[in-house]
Amino acid sequence: MTQRTSIHEPIIEGIAFAIIEVSDIEASAGFYKKYLGLSNAPHDALPDDLSGSRSMALQCPSGQMLVLVERATPRCFPDTGVHLAYRASADARDAICQSLNGDAIPIEHYHEDRPAELDDNCYFADPDGNRIQIVIDASSDREQGVLGLDHGAIQASDLEWAEEFYIDQLGFQVDHRVGWKTSDYIRAQVWKDGKEDMAPGTRRLDQRYRDIPGGKPGQGRAVARPNMQVFLKMGSTALGLYLALSHEQEPSTDKIKGTPRIAYKTSRAALDHMAKNLKSSQGNFLGPEDIGNGTALYFRDPCGNFLELWCQKDS
């Protein structure tokens, strides 16, 4: 077996940009501008692999970007735990919610599994179902709009493979786990009883093959279970990994650049280090490639999620 070079220090500084798929780029851009306060980014800010498609880059005040790419059938995963979270002040979050309520756009107040997000239970969706979370940034005094991208959450068909990859290859650290404690299973029953509202992808109902011994009349064979989740942390960002509850057709394994994806900001030395690790472990990747004012490395995690490391030139 090829020996993999270990990472001795974090290589990710935060999210540089995220790419999501939408069905109507003008409608989606209008949504993010109106409710989140994003603005048009410079035209040359678009990732190179989107230059031939209908796409648009929107900029946060932090300098981070949300890139919209138009697809006939967007991959949005509305029935899962997949989402992007944005930072905003408490006043700005309230203003966003007021605007959404005024336009009759549903807001969900799901209870949180991750302790760090206990008070960040504000969720809604864009016109295609891409889920958005607003988390409070106590250091921000902006009264309108979001400040920037805080974290993302993705699906994993094998949570053990994914956790190993993000920790060993990218240097993330475990922040919180769900589904390992008895209290998680007790809480799942509270959800089943209708006493707690949880986000899609966080709970499930397992169907037994026979009636539950000692069960109450009419109880049925459904048993509430927490869906396995791992929350990882590095630098200014976090990543939620949710065990996939259903099969999702992955793009061809030969495709290395794709969407949706999260691009993480790093240094050139760390980017080269990652390329070396991927090469030694015979992983598929493209790059490093010089793109505009930056350098990019493209690859996929073991569960098929598209990823990118990006650094400014001369960093």
Q: Does 118 share its domain with 247?
A: yes
Using one digit for the tens of pLDDT, what is the confidence trace for 192-249? 999 999 999 999 998 877 666 666 665 667 889 999 999 999 888 999 999 998 877 7
- Whether residue 171 has pLDDT greater than 80: yes
Q: Does 221 share its domain with 137?
A: no
Distant-in-sequence, close-in-space partners of 218: CB < 8 Å, separation ≥ 6: none
Cβ atoms 147, 141 nearer than 8 A: no
Residue 6: inside a domain, yes or no? no
Q: Does 207 share its domain with 288?
A: no
In percent, how much of the chain has pLDDT > 90?
Answer: 67
Using one digit for the tens of pLDDT, what is the confidence trace for 238-294? 999 999 988 777 777 788 999 999 999 999 999 998 898 888 876 789 989 988 778
Residue 254: inside a domain, yes or no? yes
* Least confident interval from 70-79, 105-114, 142-151, 289-298: 289-298
Q: How many residues does the chain have?
A: 315
Residue 9: inside a domain, yes or no? no
What is the residue range of 253's domain? Answer: 14-176+230-312
Q: Does 222 share its domain with 245?
A: no
In this predicted model, which residue has the larger pLDDT, 90 or 50?
90
Cβ atoms 107, 97 nearer than 8 A: yes
Q: Does 161 share its domain with 214?
A: no
Q: Does 68 share its domain with 112?
A: yes
Residue 272: inside a domain, yes or no? yes
Q: For residue 221, give the 3-state DSSP assignment.
A: coil
Distant-in-sequence, close-in-space partners of 183: CB < 8 Å, separation ≥ 6: none
Residue 3: inside a domain, yes or no? no
Q: 25-36 and 90-102 are packed helices; what angle lies between their axes, rounded to 10 degrees?
A: 130
Q: Can you tell me the mean pLDDT for 160-173?
A: 92
Closest to 200 measured CA to CA, from 160, 239, 244, 152 = 244
Residue 2: inside a domain, yes or no? no
Residue 100: inside a domain, yes or no? yes
- Whether residue 34 has pLDDT greater than 80: yes
For the entire predicted model, the pTM comes to 0.90
Q: Does 71 share its domain with 153?
A: yes
Residue 203: inside a domain, yes or no? yes
Q: Does 47 share its domain with 150?
A: yes
Beta pairing partners, 152: 84, 239
The domain total for the chain is: 2
Q: Does 112 share its domain with 168?
A: yes
Name the residue type at position 138.
A
Q: Does 22 share its domain with 143?
A: yes
What are the backbone dihedrals phi and psi of residue 7, each rounded to the nearest 5 degrees, phi first? -95, 125
Put residue 220 in one of left, alpha, beta given phi > 0 → left and psi -120 to 50 → alpha: left
What are the backbone dihedrals phi and psi of residue 63, each rounded to the nearest 5 degrees, phi first? 95, -15
Q: Does 199 share its domain with 122?
A: no
Q: Does 39 share its domain with 125?
A: yes
The domain spanning residue 276 has which CATH number? Answer: 3.10.180.10
Closest to 90 measured CA to CA, from 37, 147, 125, 137 = 137
The DSSP code for 56 is E
